[in-house]
Amino acid sequence: MHNERRGIPARQLQCLIFFLWILFWQITLCSFAQAADPTPVESERTQHADNWQEAQAGYVLSFPRDHAAHPPYRTEWWYYTGNLETVEGRRFGYQLTFFRTGVTSTPTTSSRWAVRDLYMAHFAIADLAPQQFFYFERLNRAGVHWAGADTAQYRVWNEGWEVRLEGDTHVLSASEGHATLALRLTPEKPPVLHGHGGFSQKGEAPGNASYYYSLTRLPTSGTLQADGKTYTVTGLSWMDHEFGTSFLEQDQVGWDWFSLQLQDGGELMLFQIRRADGAIDPHASGTLVQLDGRTQHLAKNDFSLVPEQYWQSPESGARYPTAWTLTIPDQQLKLRVTAAMPNQELRTAASTGVTYWEGSVIATGTSGSQDIQGRGYLEMTGYSGERMGSMLRGQ
């Protein structure tokens, strides 16, 4: 088993120290400004306490417009995961994720050094045959063009890591040490809107929600380098995009999220949110996608996720369920979902500050009377004992 990660280089450490100094003064100045002028900001949409816009029902997602960034909302991420293989059958999993989190919605200076948003990124490759896992992280800001997310067209970047749109094709590139991705992903189906028309409620409070959609089947081709050797690969990828301002509530400690691409041409997304008392939050949700792209929303009582087997991280001490039984009774669908390799944990103290498991999984089971199988990705957060932090709580 091999893990690799990158800490903060000297330049980015200097950037982080400088950012913290600026942030101190921005918070101080904003406090004085708010005290002097307590008049609330009026908007057609609900405003968060510090003027970030909150997600609410009624917004109509449109593409390619909504692939791009949404600066009025405090938190946004673009998530790519996939399972790839060579012509010889060597298998890989990959993850490339870009995060934007707002620091202040209205910087007090127009200087390019003003910090409105921070940009973070995670990049991982799972080399499944030797069971080697490589992951890297980045933290930057936009003011001097080290990172950013365009609003007029779809392009997100963090230094040399990038995703952009060429026609309908998503072009991904990332390189760190002896790990490299250069991939082209073309959607086979239209965007899938989760929740109700793309509005995904995560908690009881009206503002604890996001706009959420996926590209669930992206035929993928390109090259991948792992541990210094380059491979030509093909496979399937999945893209998630969410944006909002406040997602979680105080007693919600983590979630389990599944994305599965099945051999019958269908896909499945499920997530459940775990509470501090061990219960599953009622806002668990999912979407079943048919071969022809038709979708069915799944509420908490429509499915069950039962952990069956565990792996404990020697680094963080977190104990993750790496085998699950997934059941959707009304669809006569029952799957056993298992990790393609146990150690796919990311410890991202230098960027998002979250320790989580994100990795390639294999699904086998039955759909009605037919055997079925598939591949996908599983994300598990909140198992290391760390709180998910203010980034997702809108604080």
Domain layout of the chain by residue ranges = 6-381
User: Whole-angstrom Cα distance, residue 181 to residue 346?
Assistant: 18
Q: How far, rounded to the nearest angstrom, does the alpha carbon of residue 302 sit from its chain's CA centroid?
A: 24
| Contact status, residue 208 vs residue 202, Cβ threshold 8 Å | yes
pLDDT-derived band at 142, boundaries 50, 70, 90: confident
Nearest to 326 by CA among 296, 351, 361: 361
CATH superfamily of 6-381: AttH-like domain (2.40.370.10)
Distance CA 294, CA 288 (A): 8
Q: Which of these ranges, 92-96, 110-114, 144-148, 187-191, has the smallest mean pLDDT?
A: 110-114
Q: Quick one: pLDDT at residue 19? A: 43
Tens digit of each residue's pLDDT (9 = 90 or more) over 152-202 = 999 999 999 999 999 999 999 999 999 999 999 999 999 999 999 999 999
pTM value is 0.86
d(CA 297, CA 182): 34
Reply yes or no on whether the pLDDT at 10 is more than 70: no
Residue type, 13: L
Tell me which DSSP letter residue 147 carries.
E
pLDDT value of residue 360: 98
Write the CB contacts of 275 (distance below 8 Å, at least 6 apart in sequence): 251, 252, 253, 281
User: Residue holding tokens 């991705």?
Assistant: 181
CA distance 225 to 86: 12
Please give the full DSSP string across 334-382, using - where no structure is assigned: EEEEEESSS--EEE-TTTT--EEEEEEEEEEEEETTEEEEEEEEEEEES
Yes or no: say if 80 and 95 are a contact pair by the CB < 8 Å rule: yes
Q: What pLDDT digit, counting tens, does each position of 63-93 carry?
A: 999 999 999 999 999 999 999 999 999 999 9
Compute the mean pLDDT over every residue in the chain, rounded to the nearest whole number. 87
